[in-house]
Amino acid sequence: MVRPGGWLAAWWNDFGDAKRPTLFRDRLDEVYHDLLPAETGYRDSRSHVLDTDRWRSQLTTGGYFDNVSVEIIEWEQILTAQTARDQWSTFPNIAELSAPDCEEFLTRLGSLVDELGGQVADPRLTVTYTAQRVRGSP
């Protein structure tokens, strides 16, 4: 519970950034296309966390919060074949693949990083929303 006058903070990390395209992400889209064809490529996707109008509305509906602020922090993560495999293996869409398809995805992911020099800089976004609890609201 957030007391009146207190602050709420919510944040998400978004993997990939369509505004900062990379060869790694373009080539990774090929792997997704082969094994998860229903998924949108990263250049055509738009993260729900970047829908600032929607989130401002969600946070102010009911009159409990005001002074909504949004900050988008651009950064990058350096990935090796192993760290990429470790990270993607935790993503639900990858973990839910059949065991052979999951292993193929992770193997191709690791090989892709190796083909691009053994390390890749993968753009990320951290999106933070803060809102102040309205004083005197129930």
Model confidence pLDDT, tens digit, residues 75-114: 999 999 999 999 999 999 999 999 999 999 999 999 999 9
pLDDT at residue 137 above 70?
Answer: no
> Model's pTM, two decimal places?
0.81
Residue where the block lists tokens 């190796």:
114
d(C-alpha 67, C-alpha 133), whole Å: 9
Are 70 and 76 a contacting pair, CB within 8 Å?
no
Per-residue pLDDT tens digits for 37-90: 998 877 777 677 888 999 999 999 999 999 999 999 999 999 999 999 999 999
pLDDT score recorded for residue 67: 92
Burial of 96: CB neighbours in 10 Å, binned 0-12, 13-18, 19+:
exposed
Q: Where are the beta strands (DSSP E) in 37-136?
A: 65-79, 120-133
